[in-house]
Amino acid sequence: MKETNPATEPIGQNLIKLKQLCFSVFVFLVLIFTVIAITYQPPDPWLESAPALTKFFTQSENATFKNDNSILKTGEDLQSVSAPAVPPALVIEPITEQVIEKSEKVANMTLQSSGCEDLQVVNCSDPRVLITVEKFNLKWFKSIVFLEYQTPVNGSKPNECDVAWRFRNKKEKSWRKYRDFRRFEFGTGKNCNKIVHAGGWHSGINARRQRNRVNSTKSGGNILKITSTFRDEEINDTIPSLGSEMNFRKGRYLYYSRGGDYCKGMNHYMWSFLCGLGEAMYLNRTFVMDLSICLAGSYNPSGKDEEGKDFRYYFDFEHLKELASIVEESEFLRDWKKWDRAHKKKVPVRKVVTHKVTPMQLSKDRSTIIWRQFDAPEPENYWYRVCEGQAAKHIQRPWHVLWKSKRLMNIVTEISGQMDWDFDAVHVVRGEKAQNKELWPHLDADTSPDALVVKLQGMIQPRRNLYIATNEPFYNYFDKLRSHFKVHLLDDYKALWGNTSDWYNETMLLNNGWPVEFDGYMRVAVDTEVLYRQRRVWKHFII
């Protein structure tokens, strides 16, 4: 009979126990990973701050340079720089050196070879004049993509031509186009093929295209008139209509009642709005959209919430309705009531009273209207709660549909253009933070005029254009910097939203003839976008 080795039995048993222990640990780790995968919420790019502080600032002793959410991003800021989303119908070949060379061959000669030494009057319609302007622009405006030019027209003198063109800034990742028109002075005699002087932003007034005039009046306690108002023809933010009753009945809609997100900060509001729109896209339904926004008191000097703000003041409604199926709330409710009055069979409605009913559970619902109602107390009545948990795997917030209003972007372009697209920028956040010594003990000193002068002198060349994006309420606070740099503040450009501006008149039309305030959120949006367009590839943030 074979004898067993008693020493081998415990070893075998121990190996089995070790395997069981390893398997238990593996199962436990898988369980933990599964729980994390289900509950993890990716960071919101809207709530993320802008790029970190530069190395110089972060190395400052006792610095209070910390990121916050005062830098506002929208869809065009999150797109790829090299591949903006361009509708096929709007694709225009940029004016490059290769394109200019082809134009020169067509012209078959240059100004110099045409025997222009005796030229005293410039023929602005000559294609060679435009070629000279195109070369000049490509040389001096490196941050601009030139899309198309208009035929030059005569300036105020015999050797001047006014030229208009459409362009896009390389740092703006949308496909939107803007216009500039400048006056160019050509040399005479031997210098007749050269531009001896170029005017500034919008100096070529003879090349300015006349815009459509719209007259609007409003009667009431006061009579307000808009006379000779210019409408930007490239903005079409009219409210779409459903059309006939049958069109309404054939549709499928997702309707969100107003919830606790109303009058919250704009970041909160848009995070929730994109959740609702994302669910509508997931369900293949038309989203019922309330264009009325309540602006949180944090954006208003009074500190009070302001209702009745139009979505189109802040965001590009034209772009939104091109990429998403939406209907305005009042239009929707009117057509709904009209149908129910005219027909015995009412419109099928599925009422959802809690956010815990997931989009996946509604995916096969055939009701004409899915009506989400947010009547629970906060925070259960926030729209974004719909996109939490398991729904986060299925609902993608459509950031690409959300751009800043072109009316605000026209102001951004105007400010950048007046600085000839050649400026540096800093972001100085003070306001109430500077007074809060407990939370920000060094902020007041670190952002004092003397401290700013010391920090910026080593980083920006003297007499450069310096744009300061700031919430500092006192205009003269940065006067010490003016002896070193050409300082620009947002308030230097008040005329761009004053009562004679295009922005003022266009927003007044949206507001039924009543003036619109250029509020705190608009200021931050414009400040942010000008900041993005500075010359340097790096950015200064002093927060």
The strand ranges marked E within 92-175 are 144-149, 153-154, 160-169
pLDDT at position 517 over 70: yes
Tokens of 534: 């500075």
Residue 154 lies in a domain: yes
Q: Are residues 61 and 109 in the same domain?
A: no
Which CATH number does the domain housing residue 396 bear?
3.40.50
Q: How many domains does the chain have?
A: 3
pLDDT band at 11 (very low <50, low <70, confident <90, very high): low
Q: Are residues 254 and 383 in the same domain?
A: yes
Q: Are residues 429 and 312 in the same domain?
A: no
Task: Report the chain's mean pLDDT, rounded to a whole number.
Answer: 81
Q: Are residues 387 and 250 in the same domain?
A: yes
Q: Are residues 374 and 324 in the same domain?
A: yes
pLDDT in tens, 243-300: 777 788 889 999 999 999 999 999 999 999 999 999 999 999 999 999 999 999 988 8
pLDDT in tens, 308-363: 999 999 999 999 999 999 999 999 999 999 999 988 889 999 999 999 999 999 99
pLDDT band at 48 (very low <50, low <70, confident <90, very high): very low
Burial class (CB in 10 A: 0-12, 13-18, 19+), 210: exposed
Q: Are residues 64 and 170 in the same domain?
A: no
Dihedral over Cα of 72, 75, 80, 84: its sign? negative
Q: Are residues 139 and 286 in the same domain?
A: no
Residue 26 lies in a domain: no
Q: Are residues 269 and 395 in the same domain?
A: yes
Tokens of 428: 């100085």
What is the DSSP secondary-structure string of 113-159? GGTGGG--S--TTSHHHHHHHHHHHHHH-TTEEEEEEPPPEE-SSTT
Least confident of 52-56, 207-211, 310-314, 426-430: 52-56
Of 401, 435, 454, which one is at a domain's C-terminal end?
A: 401
pLDDT in tens, 372-422: 999 999 999 999 999 999 999 999 999 999 999 999 999 999 999 999 999
CA distance 361 to 339: 28
Question: Which helix (DSSP H) or strand (DSSP E) does residue 266 occupy?
Answer: helix 266-282
Give long-range contacts, CB 8 A cutoff, 24+ apart: 240-244. 240/321, 240/326, 240/327, 240/328, 240/331, 241/331, 242/327, 242/331, 242/332, 242/335
Domain that holds residue 98: 88-207
Residues 6+ apart with CB under 8 A from 457: 484
Q: Are residues 62 and 121 in the same domain?
A: no
Residue 22 lies in a domain: no
Q: Are residues 391 and 425 in the same domain?
A: no
The per-residue pLDDT for 57 is 32
Residue 35 lies in a domain: no
Instruction: Give backbone dihedrals phi and psi of 364, rounded to 5 degrees, phi first.
Output: -105, 5
pLDDT in tens, 101-138: 666 665 555 444 455 555 678 889 888 889 999 999 99
Q: Are residues 255 and 330 in the same domain?
A: yes
pLDDT in tens, 197-247: 999 999 999 998 776 555 544 444 443 444 444 566 778 888 888 777 778
Residue 322 lies in a domain: yes
Residue 433 lies in a domain: yes
The per-residue pLDDT for 382 is 97
Residue 11 lies in a domain: no
Of 182, 207, 232, which one is at a domain's C-terminal end?
A: 207
CA distance 58 to 206: 49
Residue 220 lies in a domain: no
Tokens of 349: 């409605």
* Contact criterion met (CB below 8 Å) for 534 and 337: no
Q: Are residues 457 and 537 in the same domain?
A: yes
Least confident of 353-362, 377-386, 442-451, 493-502: 442-451
